[in-house]
Amino acid sequence: MAIHSVTTGSMMCSFGVAPSVFNATPKMISSSYMQVGNIMDNIPITNIPPFGMCTSIANPTVAAATSAALGVLTPMPCVPATPAPWTPGAPTVLVNYMPALNNSSCLMCLWGGQIRFTYPGQVTEMIP
């Protein structure tokens, strides 16, 4: 069962060292009184805040710091670089004419990281 991701959902990057909180672009649609995200909510800093420090050697700042430290991996501050939309989204649920985000959506960073939801921001209660 897919759960739609909303503002306050928790995310983690595979090369980040700390979780971050998703911030959906304001829309006229909400779920559980929170803004619902769609696949186009991929703007660095605005929608995707930093994940503490970045450990990806593909990140130029990490590569430079690691080189200066004679090859010892040196994490540097994270600045997400997310040029493409989230995938796959929920194809049957549209938010502002774009697929809604759900708990299985993934966003790729230019530095090789995979950004995924660890908590979508809302909970579905199952009634027996």
Average pLDDT over residues 100-127: 85
CB 47 within 8 A of CB 20: no
User: Which residues are paired to 44 by β-bridges?
Assistant: 48
Q: What is the mean pLDDT of the chain?
A: 90
Report the predicted TM-score, pTM, of the whole model to 2 decimal places.
Answer: 0.88
Which tens digits make up the pLDDT trace of 4-61? Answer: 788 888 999 999 999 999 999 988 776 667 788 999 999 999 999 999 999 999 999 9
* Angstrom distance (rounded) from CA 76 to CA 57: 10
